[in-house]
Chains A and B, each alone.
Chain A
Amino acid sequence: MAELFLCVLAAIFAGYFALAGYDYGVGILLRRTARDDTERRMVLGALGPFFLGNEVWLVTGLGLFLAAFPMTEGSMLSALYPMAFPLIASIVVFTAAVQVRSRTSAARGLWDTLIVATGFINSFGWGAVFGAALQGFPVHFGPLPILTGAATTALFVLHGSVLLSLRTPIEVQERALRIAWRMGYAAVVLAAVAAAAAAVLSPVIAQPLAAAGGTIVLVAVLAAAIRLLRTGRLGWALVCTGAAAALPVVITGVALLPGPYVHADNAGMRSMVEAAAGPATLDFLAVAALPTLPLLLGVQAAT
């Protein structure tokens, strides 16, 4: 049962990055792709009615994490405190700034600046969190979080630019496409460098083969995205960049299996699955929470 929840959790977080990845990417690109207010509204409009729908997956994932793996959630989040709290703050500001900007014409310049800045912090921050987890706890400074942060930033910008080239009128689209072409290569290089650095620097990778396999898939998906962009099949390119945005969290998680280990007060270290919630809780979650996931997916996909 705990294994099932581990997979569900991975799927939810992957979904969050596949969707919110373009939000943050588009946020970073807000000023570069759009020259005036009308264009900026088009750019943010490309995020669609489900802008809030994307953050939903983060909130859902965290809730399920807390419920099914309370020990791991508590240990990881409090260990990651110095990174987690600026990241949460920035996600909140990003969400609010996009909302406020579309509801008032006052201080648009300020909101735009906030959107660009927090879009960048969110993209970089998530990558840095993966890097920090790969360095092992307690968190400490090192080159790895910076490299992984740069890699996710490139991935999200790529994802966002492909979304824009699919959903905006011609002038904006051209600028977005140009960025997408360049970002494609940057993302391949940065992802490869980050993976290589992790292989050398990380003392806690427990599944090197799976992690290497995941990285190869990531590079292959990026290569496919670049090809699809060249041939103008933008819809499929978006699918590929979405997969690329989702892969880092999956690769990091798989690399650390069966950890991350947590300290259980009386019984020493236990793996994530061993430290899962009790059977009655998991049953309750399986009945009350899991069936809603496909339903929600269906509603979101249908629109």
Chain B
Amino acid sequence: MSALDLARLQFAVTAGIHWTFVLVTLGMVVWLVTLETRAALARNPVKRELLYRMTRFWGLLYVINYAIGIASGIVMEFQFGTNWSGLSHVAGSVFGAPIAVETMVAFAFESTFLALWIFGWQKLPRWVHLGLLWAIGASAFASAFLVLVANGFMHFPRGYHMTAHGQADLDSVSQLLSNPSTIIAFIHICGAALAAGGVVITVVSSFHLFRRTRDEDFFVRSFRSGFIMGFLGLSTAVGSGFPQLDFVKEIQPGKFDHPGMGAFLGNMIVIGFFGLVIMFFLSPVIIGKLPAKLWWSMPLFWLALPLPFIAAVLGWLAREIGRQPWAIYGVQRTSDAVSHVGVGTMWASFAVFTTMLVALLLTNWWLIGRHATRGPNREIFGITPIPAQRPRVHIGGSNG
């Protein structure tokens, strides 16, 4: 393998792994915002306590994923400088800007707000605490949008001109931000993230329902919401997927003619389409207490866990490999974008980063699995819940 092949493989592996963290982040944050907003608005103290308890349980899952995933983002950012210096030479001035703004506005804010949110339980006024969560959600989606601005430019470059030094100079920020390749991918990705988040919630809930743990109400509600979220997400992904296909055929003609590309795209479409049909027919299961009554059928839902992640990685493989041989479509070839680095060094860094990120990914799912199976009846964020039946006098996060 040449240094170029290795650099490409390394990008594919690291981006793919980063992406599985991101999917959970984006999906879960929507769910958390919904939960805590409803908790803050709830009048009935029993219901309010339940919703806060749900926020904390699912919130810790989010925090674990974020804390472990942060490292994968750092690797992504370094890679542009180390492996793809040709890219920054030619287009860094256009394409570095959204990435920089991503890290400053979204990433830096998100981790700061998240720390305040974690340590603010029972310390901050209820509405301030909720506001922090909204800010976390906004940062996460802003972050996703901004990387897609960089990526959209690579697929459909516009809003720039070439200088005498052979570099792209940014002309129009608004053209950069309103790139249709970015916007349509963003909608599709929001759908994918909701689908993945919904599936994670459904699967964890079905585990507890199957074991018939005592938090029936907690997990019936979670199961229902997860199912609805997954369904909405999947509909969004499928609904935006076909227009995206038409658009891509227009800006990158012949992209999906290669048989390999067809396979990536085809399998994603199969998962999306059949997933939607199956969910549609299964949807009566969310009525009333049925998820608890049908506890024995719950293991069936576990099978869904890998599907949204597989579909989402396949989608990226189609999008990115299909762009070859261009790094920036029609502007710079991938072979001109790669750094002048020896094969040996590339091998070493590929091996080290892959091992490390795979280890992070496994650690993440192990920690998430442990947290999920231990359930909500324990101290989380410094608050120990009182058994579900009795109403509480002091309500978590609301003494303001």
A303: chain B residues at CB < 8 Å are 115-116
- Beyond A81-B339, A281-B94, is A89–B104 a contact (Cβ under 8 Å)? no
B89 at the interface (CB under 8 A from A): yes
B71: chain A residues at CB < 8 Å are 92-93, 95-96
| Complex contact A62–B82 (CB within 8 A) | no
B103 at the interface (CB under 8 A from A): yes
A272-301 to B contact mask, C-beta < 8 Å, 1/0: 000001101101110011001100100110
In the assembled complex, the Cα of A298 lies from the Cα of B266 at a distance in Å of: 50
B245 at the interface (CB under 8 A from A): no
B84: chain A residues at CB < 8 Å are 74
| Complex contact B107–A56 (CB within 8 A) | yes
| Complex contact A63–B100 (CB within 8 A) | yes
| Complex contact A289–B345 (CB within 8 A) | no
| Complex contact B111–A67 (CB within 8 A) | no
| Complex contact A49–B92 (CB within 8 A) | no
Number of interface residues of A (CB under 8 A): 60
B304: chain A residues at CB < 8 Å are none
B96: chain A residues at CB < 8 Å are 63, 66-68, 70, 73, 277, 281
Interface magnitude class on chain B: 35 or more
Neighbour of A60 across the interface among B91, B104, B339, B363, CB < 8 A: B104
Q: Which partner residue on chain B sits nearest A12 by CB separation?
A: B104
- Contacts between chains A and B (CB distance < 8 A), count: 211
Q: Which partner residue on chain A sits nearest B102 by CB separation?
A: A63
B286 at the interface (CB under 8 A from A): no
B217: chain A residues at CB < 8 Å are none
A220 at the interface (CB under 8 A from B): no
Neighbour of A280 across the interface among B171, B340, B363, CB < 8 A: B171
A236 at the interface (CB under 8 A from B): no
| Complex contact A266–B164 (CB within 8 A) | yes
> Which listed segment binds A: B62-70, B231-239, B288-296, B318-326?
B62-70
How many Å from the CB of A301 to the closest CB on chain B? 11
In the assembled complex, the Cα of A94 lies from the Cα of B169 at a distance in Å of: 38
| Complex contact A278–B93 (CB within 8 A) | yes
Find residues 326-376 in chain B having any chain A CB closer than 8 Å to their own CB.
339-341, 345, 348-349, 352-353, 356, 360, 363, 367, 370
| Complex contact A64–B82 (CB within 8 A) | no
B111: chain A residues at CB < 8 Å are 52-53, 56
B184 at the interface (CB under 8 A from A): no
| Complex contact A277–B92 (CB within 8 A) | yes
How many Å from the CB of A251 to the closest CB on chain B? 23
| Complex contact A66–B92 (CB within 8 A) | yes
A254 at the interface (CB under 8 A from B): no
How many Å from the CB of A235 to the closest CB on chain B? 22
A75 at the interface (CB under 8 A from B): yes
| Complex contact A92–B74 (CB within 8 A) | yes
Q: Which partner residue on chain A sits nearest B366 by CB separation?
A: A104
| Complex contact B103–A74 (CB within 8 A) | no
How many Å from the CB of A220 to the closest CB on chain B? 32
B341: chain A residues at CB < 8 Å are 78, 81
| Complex contact B92–A73 (CB within 8 A) | yes
How many Å from the CB of A95 to the closest CB on chain B? 5
Neighbour of A70 across the interface among B74, B83, B89, CB < 8 A: B89
A136 at the interface (CB under 8 A from B): no
Q: Which partner residue on chain A sits nearest B99 by CB separation?
A: A63
- Beyond A82-B345, A264-B165, is A59–B75 a contact (Cβ under 8 Å)? no
B103: chain A residues at CB < 8 Å are 59-60, 62-64
In the assembled complex, the Cα of A281 lies from the Cα of B170 at a distance in Å of: 6
| Complex contact A100–B363 (CB within 8 A) | yes
B107: chain A residues at CB < 8 Å are 56, 59-60
Q: Which partner residue on chain A sits nearest B87 by CB separation?
A: A74
B137 at the interface (CB under 8 A from A): no
A55 at the interface (CB under 8 A from B): yes
B172 at the interface (CB under 8 A from A): yes
Find residues 229-277 in chain A having any chain B CB closer than 8 Å to their own CB.
264-267, 277
Find residues 92-118 in chain B having any chain A CB closer than 8 Å to their own CB.
92-94, 96-97, 99-105, 107-109, 111-112, 114-116, 118
B16 at the interface (CB under 8 A from A): no
B385 at the interface (CB under 8 A from A): no
How many Å from the CB of B235 to the closest CB on chain A? 33
B131 at the interface (CB under 8 A from A): no
Neighbour of A265 across the interface among B101, B165, B171, B348, CB < 8 A: B165
A179 at the interface (CB under 8 A from B): no
| Complex contact A285–B166 (CB within 8 A) | no
- Beyond A67-B92, A67-B99, A284-B170, is A78–B68 a contact (Cβ under 8 Å)? no
| Complex contact B81–A62 (CB within 8 A) | yes
In the assembled complex, the Cα of A292 lies from the Cα of B139 at a distance in Å of: 13
In the assembled complex, the Cα of A277 lies from the Cα of B88 at a distance in Å of: 10
| Complex contact A52–B339 (CB within 8 A) | no
Task: Give me 6 other A-B pairs in contact (C-beta within 8 A), A63-B103, A70-B96, A265-B89 excluded.
Answer: A63-B96, A66-B99, A95-B70, A285-B101, A289-B105, A299-B112
Q: List 16 A-B contacts (CB under 8 A).
A: A58-B74, A59-B74, A62-B77, A67-B100, A70-B93, A73-B85, A73-B88, A74-B92, A78-B81, A88-B74, A96-B360, A265-B165, A278-B93, A278-B169, A289-B101, A296-B112
Chain A contacts to B: CB under 8 angstroms:
49-50, 52-53, 55-60, 62-68, 70-71, 73-78, 81-82, 84-86, 88-89, 91-93, 95-96, 99-100, 103-104, 264-267, 277-278, 280-281, 283-285, 288-289, 292-293, 296, 299-300, 303
- Pick the 4 closest A-B CB pairs, nearest first: A70-B92, A77-B81, A74-B85, A67-B100
